[in-house]
Amino acid sequence: MPFNTINNEILDRLRAIVGQANVLTDEETRIICASDMTEDHVFMPAVVVTPETAEQVAAILRICNDHVIPVTPRGGGTSLSGGSLPVEGGVVVWMKRFDRIIDIDELNLQATVEPGVITEVFQNAVKEKGLFYPPDPSSRGTCFLGGNLAHNAGGPKAVKYGVTRDYVLNMQVALPTGELIWTAANVLKNSTGYNLTQLMCGSEGTLGIITRIVFKLRPLPRRDVTLLVPFTTGEEACRAISAIYMAGIVPSGMEFMERDAIILTMKYLDEVLHKPVTIELPDHINAHLLIELDGNDEDTLMRDAETITQVLENFETGEVYFAESAEEKESLWRLRRNVSPGVNSYSLTKSEDVVVPRSNLPALVSAIKAIGDRVGFRSVCYGHVGDGNLHVNIMKEQGSDAWWHNEVNEGIADIFREVVRLGGTLSGEHGIGIAKRPYMHLAMQEANLRLMRGIKAAFDPNGILNPGKVF
């Protein structure tokens, strides 16, 4: 269905809902909401609305649905797949005023929050009460919990504790038709009908706008051990991962960084953020694993770390480095968290987020490098390899625009074909958005896509919500 454009009458109706000050048509605000962290895409919305209550969000949707005007929800704007890009223009609903932590329920280990709370703010708030919210995307300092849910964000802790979808019990959602629903109940078990909560997770803002969330929490682990292991090759590092699991260890972090990822991120931390981190990079070292163990008992952690070092004797490693102090641990994680902004600050990139069964990672890394050699791009790989989830940043560097849009996209299709052949799929945590939409048919049967389209139509009969995304 073709969309209608916004006129003065609709602007007045939006103003009547949220107040004059929260209907923003100035260029500066619209430019902020025209892009996210995805490549170099820019799509200008006609207007940005900043509601404060669920009822306001529902009322905005009702008007836009009646007039068939596209609506794109926006959180912290950190999407790497184009989730918050208003590709059809129209209204951006920016959720930044939904920033309250409503309740941290220590008796039930639950918390109720608004979706515009910054992830790290929430992590710290529950930590003060001795509790733990494990999902830990690298963008935690600026991303919003609502966006984390919409994209089912992961991060390093997922390898032991699971991803965002594993921590949500219930949520309030404004539907594109203007109705306001709760998806479930605040309970730990629930077999009551279809699971609308989980359907919303990872739906990328295409089915509804999340207006309140009930999370479950865990007790905070008291101790951790962090080690950095250099390897001669990326494939060798990836082979070691399965061996560590086979020795009976479940790390709370198992992160991979290629040599180029470390070089570019060290440069960025030094030159741009002025918070340098230095690690030795001898010539024969081409990849590192950053491994973390957590728990409450120091002796158990030390025994597990010892087991890991014994396992590693069977691999081509450099000297294993144990982070002793909290500062040393923090600087290793600072390095890891800044790989994406670091690499992206030195070249336009296409960020892939593929995932395979972890035993197939060595084959995947080899295939990516071979495809890069053939097409002529440099790829910088890093990511959550304990989960088999590899981020692949493909660098434009000196390449021409035509090459970037044609040959490189074909090369990416080849990477995805290889991923699927290895039993994997397109995205482990960043979502599909617009970036991976052209490749969905490589991972999905037509029947899957038909079911997804049917679900979309059931929620959003006029297709107004975050159009142009996913499929």
| Amino acid residing at 196 | L
Sheet with 349-355, edge to edge strand ranges: 321-323, 223-231, 287-295, 253-258, 379-384, 389-395, 349-355
- Bridge pairing between strands 223-231 and 287-295: antiparallel
Nearer to ligand LAC, 138 or 466 (CB): 138
Q: How many CB atoms lie within 10 A of CB 30?
A: 18
Shortest Cβ 137–ligand LAC spacing (Å): 6
From first CA to last CA, the distance across the chain in angstroms is 16
Provide the CB-side half-sphere exposure for 144 (13 A, CA): 27
Shortest Cβ 147–ligand LAC spacing (Å): 13
Residue 138 found at the interface with ligand LAC (CB under 6 A): yes
Footprint of ligand LAC on 367-386 (CB under 6 A)? 383
Helix axes 234-246, 361-375, angle to 10 degrees: 170
Q: How many CB atoms lie within 10 A of CB 44?
A: 13
* Stretch (H or E) spanning 294: strand 287-295
Footprint of ligand LAC on 289-328 (CB under 6 A)? none
Residue 81 found at the interface with ligand LAC (CB under 6 A): no
Residue located via tokens 């052209």: 438
Shortest Cβ 35–ligand LAC spacing (Å): 17
Residue 391 found at the interface with ligand LAC (CB under 6 A): yes
Residue 119 found at the interface with ligand LAC (CB under 6 A): no
Residue 84 found at the interface with ligand LAC (CB under 6 A): no
Nearer to ligand LAC, 138 or 211 (CB): 138
Residues forming beta bridges with residue 352, ordered by sequence position: 392
Return phi, psi of residue 229, to 5°.
-120, 115
Shortest Cβ 180–ligand LAC spacing (Å): 31
Closest-approach residue to ligand LAC (CB): 138
Residue 436 found at the interface with ligand LAC (CB under 6 A): no
Residues forming beta bridges with residue 351, ordered by sequence position: 393
Residue 148 found at the interface with ligand LAC (CB under 6 A): no
Nearer to ligand LAC, 259 or 391 (CB): 391
Nearer to ligand LAC, 211 or 338 (CB): 338
Provide the CB-side half-sphere exposure for 122 (13 A, CA): 34
Residue 78 found at the interface with ligand LAC (CB under 6 A): no
Nearer to ligand LAC, 56 or 139 (CB): 139
Residue 265 found at the interface with ligand LAC (CB under 6 A): no
Nearer to ligand LAC, 383 or 463 (CB): 383
Q: How far is it, in rounded angstroms, from Cα 446 to Cα 133?
A: 37
Please check whether residue 33 is in contact with residue 48, taking contact to mean a CB–CB distance below 8 angstroms.
yes
Shortest Cβ 415–ligand LAC spacing (Å): 17
Nearer to ligand LAC, 104 or 163 (CB): 163
Residue 233 found at the interface with ligand LAC (CB under 6 A): no
* Stretch (H or E) spanning 227: strand 223-231
Footprint of ligand LAC on 339-358 (CB under 6 A)? 339-340
Interface residues with ligand LAC (CB under 6 A)? Answer: 137-138, 339-340, 383, 391
